[in-house]
Amino acid sequence: MKYREMTAEQRKVEFEKVSAEFEAWKAKGLKLNMARGRPGKEQLDLVSGILSVMTDPTDCVDGDVNVRNYGQLSGLPSAKALFAEILGCKPEQVFVGGNASLQLMYDTIAKAYTNGLLHSEKPWCREEHIKWLCPAPGYDRHFKVTESFGFELITIPMTETGPNMDLVEQLVKDPAVKGMWNVPKYSNPDGIIYSDETIERIAKLKPAAPDFLLMWDNAYCIHEFEGEFVPFPDILSLCEKYGNADMVFEFASTSKITLPGAGVACFACSEANMEYMEKLINIQIISYDKINQLRHVKYLKDKAHTLELMKKHAAIMGPKFKAVTETLAREVGPLGLATWHDPKGGYFVSVNTLPGLAKRTLALCKEAGVIMTSAGATFPYGVDPKDSNIRVAPSLPPVEELQQAMEVFCCCLKLAALEQLK
Amino acid sequence: MKYREMTAEQRKVEFEKVSAEFEAWKAKGLKLNMARGRPGKEQLDLVSGILSVMTDPTDCVDGDVNVRNYGQLSGLPSAKALFAEILGCKPEQVFVGGNASLQLMYDTIAKAYTNGLLHSEKPWCREEHIKWLCPAPGYDRHFKVTESFGFELITIPMTETGPNMDLVEQLVKDPAVKGMWNVPKYSNPDGIIYSDETIERIAKLKPAAPDFLLMWDNAYCIHEFEGEFVPFPDILSLCEKYGNADMVFEFASTSKITLPGAGVACFACSEANMEYMEKLINIQIISYDKINQLRHVKYLKDKAHTLELMKKHAAIMGPKFKAVTETLAREVGPLGLATWHDPKGGYFVSVNTLPGLAKRTLALCKEAGVIMTSAGATFPYGVDPKDSNIRVAPSLPPVEELQQAMEVFCCCLKLAALEQLK
């Protein structure tokens, strides 16, 4: 029976029951963390082979490039080829960088700010005011990057097929709107795959700003944890088709394929953008870690072999997501307290509680020793207008702990709802 | 006999002789590169052990930090300790980053530009005009970083004891002067060690700008190739002593200790600066490659062990520098065409030709298949007012090739001088 349909007396009984449960959880002194999308230990162990794939100087050659010395700013040819095959673009459109796609994203926007992009009239720091489109719920670190440069963040509601495109098409008519964040496949946190129609509408946008920057963070492009690999369109050629070749920068990394923090990241863009960016990046760095790039090429080999590895990750991740969604379905589904997505890939389950419950639920979780991503984090400026969205990150804890953590979470959500209805 | 003291007839004979030599070199079709300070193959082979120092997941633990996952933005405790011991500062003053100190330097100035530093009144992009002190001859990549942000570069002449401090002390009274480049030990390219007095005067500067930024690139802090390790003062505690704790950022890396491009870089600064910078860097990246940090800690162990490795580098580098300075002394010394420094560490020999000969000498070298750092590169905006300074980078070629390259260089310098005197 839904809480709202209960009588006051029924709710009082339920409140006492749930309160007792909550106290029992607290007494256990748990310490569980579901705050971030960190791979779990089993996943790390899965890729231990990468540590020993290059142990001899004779391994350190890639075609005619000696990877042990300076040089090759835009990355090793073999690493470009690997990412190009995965992303479906051309190797010459790929820049392979360091260990973090976030840094490449930040740097792209920073270059726009300090120097301007290829089609900028001036560096963005010389603009009066910059607006930025933020599909939300979205990734807090994306929002913080654009916030740190003083841009005004505009929330674009997410739908089942991606961002609300009617609104996007309307807003890009404003020349102050300079760009947009996107996680097109298994969006963070909703786990939504942008529909082909949405992607097509994005590729054919006609922004008033000549230097509109489409940030295409393909962080989960091969990260299915259930079912077969789902192909995705190449955003670069789509944008080119509609005369927007220089509008998009796509990002990816192996952070959730090999080792988080010790992986390899890349961006992909038009060849004109590549030429422009290489000149700017050449001022910042001589070259990225090519040893680690080659280590990854030797270990991952090609797309097919990488997808085989992703199946092994899926075998670890799948049961964790099942534990989350099944516990939600059992514990809070019948009570009408929340809805959630049931993704087939990515790293998150996005839960939407009844309005006004998210903060209180997570505060209670914290009391009971379960740390989750802060309420509000999935919205620009960390403010969820409905105080409803909660990002659950099930990857780190082992299944047994996760099961416990989700039971705690459901208990806290119930308690928050009952408190609200008092 | 010096060329200037020759009769016209003697010079004519000499010109014909040197021209014939030049043609003979050209006919050999050499392809030699002394453009950049790249370690040579022997040096790379020296450190092959680093490739196999971490091959098992059980190696991937540093105290209670699992280095295989995200986190630990400012670097592994063990890596901080290693750099702190080498630099003579405190571990908590060290931020260990990615593979490139240039990137950390660029990012520090970029943060000043986009957000401002700890004591800035506003981000530097909101300042009317920024001036920057550039001891010259100096490092071209330093100059390009500050040029890329539109700062006005002011040349500070180098003396035998470091930059001309009378001039520096005068110029920092201008609040538009926001910072200064330094390579305090084995300066690039002169190979000068700043004297204790110079360093003291720098540490006690009283700049008008509250956010004056002393960039202290200690790139060659343990890079002796002749004689024993030369201790250097800790710039952080010196600045602190004179009330300038937050004025300095020091940089170092293992690029020329282990593998260039696959090393580990760091910066060191006051704890107040560290707190400020961590907040800003946290927006840009979750964490740097801790696997590679730990790989370095396991391989280099501590300062004493690292200095032992540097002795092995010295055994390779020393003979190369000898080949350069001996050839210069034999071929051009008696002719009065150039002077040069005779460094005991670092990566360069800085040659000063008679005025107006540098560009022509290097153009002739190029014709004969020897590539050197472009003339002018060691000065702001790539313009050497005397067209005199040439940076010789002897590390990459094997000694035999280097010997040849230097003979070509001396031949070209003679030819350029004789052409000028015609």
pLDDT digit string (tens) for B253-271?
A: 999 999 999 999 999 999 9
Contacts of A146 in chain B (CB under 8 A): none
| Residue with the two structure tokens 């080498």 | B86
- Partners of A215 in the beta sheet? A181, A249
pTM of the model: 0.97
ipTM above 0.90, yes or no: yes
pLDDT digit string (tens) for B385-419?
A: 999 999 999 999 999 999 999 999 999 999 999 99
**Nearest-angstrom CA–CA distance, A374 and B274:** 25
Contact between B285 and A51 using a beta-carbon 8 Å cutoff:
no
Give me the amino acid identity at A129. Answer: H
Mutate which of B286, B293, B298 to test chain A, going by most A C-beta atoms within 10 A?
Answer: B286
Q: Distance between the two ends of chain B, CA-based, in angstroms?
A: 17
Q: Where are the beta strands (DSSP E) in B41-106?
A: 61-62, 65-66, 94-96
Phi, psi of A333 (to 5 degrees): -55, -55
pLDDT value at residue A83: 98
At B320, list the tokens.
């190369």
Cβ(A288)–Cβ(A123) under 8 Å?
A: no
Contacts of B255 in chain A (CB under 8 A): 70
Note whether A128 contacts B: Cβ–Cβ < 8 A. Answer: no
Q: What is the mean pLDDT of each run of 10 residues along chain A (422 residues)?
A: 91 96 96 88 96 93 91 97 98 98 98 98 97 98 98 98 98 98 97 98 98 98 98 98 98 97 97 98 97 98 98 97 97 94 96 97 96 94 97 94 95 96 86
**Nearest-angstrom CA–CA distance, A380 and A389:** 13
**For A146, nearest residue in chain B (alpha carbons):** B283
**Nearest-angstrom CA–CA distance, A405 and A399:** 10
Contact between B98 and A286 using a beta-carbon 8 Å cutoff:
no
Say what percent of chain B tops pLDDT 90.
Answer: 96
Note whether B68 contacts A: Cβ–Cβ < 8 A. Answer: yes
Q: Which helix (H) or strand (E) holds A370?
A: strand A370-372
pLDDT value at residue B66: 85
pLDDT value at residue B143: 98
In the stretch 235-254 of chain B, residues with CB closer than 8 A to chain A read none
Note whether A57 contacts B: Cβ–Cβ < 8 A. Answer: yes
pLDDT digit string (tens) for B281-339?
A: 999 999 999 999 999 999 999 999 999 999 999 999 999 999 999 999 999 999 999 99
**Nearest-angstrom CA–CA distance, B422 and B418:** 6
**Nearest-angstrom CA–CA distance, B68 and B287:** 11
pLDDT digit string (tens) for B12-31?
A: 999 999 999 999 999 999 99
pLDDT value at residue A153: 98
Average the pLDDT over B42-49 and give the result: 96
Collapsed DSSP state (helix, strand, coil) of residue A294: helix
pLDDT value at residue A1: 83
pLDDT value at residue A34: 85
pLDDT digit string (tens) for A309-324?
A: 999 999 999 999 999 9
The mean-pLDDT minimum among A87-101, A184-198, B50-64, B234-248 falls in: B50-64
Phi-psi region of B243 (alpha: psi -120 to 50; beta: other; left: phi over 0): left
| Residue with the two structure tokens 């995200």 | B70
Q: Is B258 exposed, middle or buried (0-12, 13-18, 19+ CB in 10 A)?
A: buried
**For A126, nearest residue in chain B (alpha carbons):** B125
For chain B, give the mean pLDDT: 96
At A19, list the tokens.
């309160």
**For A57, nearest residue in chain B (alpha carbons):** B48
**Nearest-angstrom CA–CA distance, A302 and B130:** 49
> pLDDT tier at B36 (50, 70, 90 boundaries)?
confident
- Partners of B96 in the beta sheet? B266
Phi, psi of A306 (to 5 degrees): -65, -40
Contact between A99 and B98 using a beta-carbon 8 Å cutoff:
yes
At B35, list the tokens.
């453009």
CB atoms within 10 A of CB B254: 27
Q: Which of A255, A261, A287 sits opposite B290 (nearest CB)?
A: A261
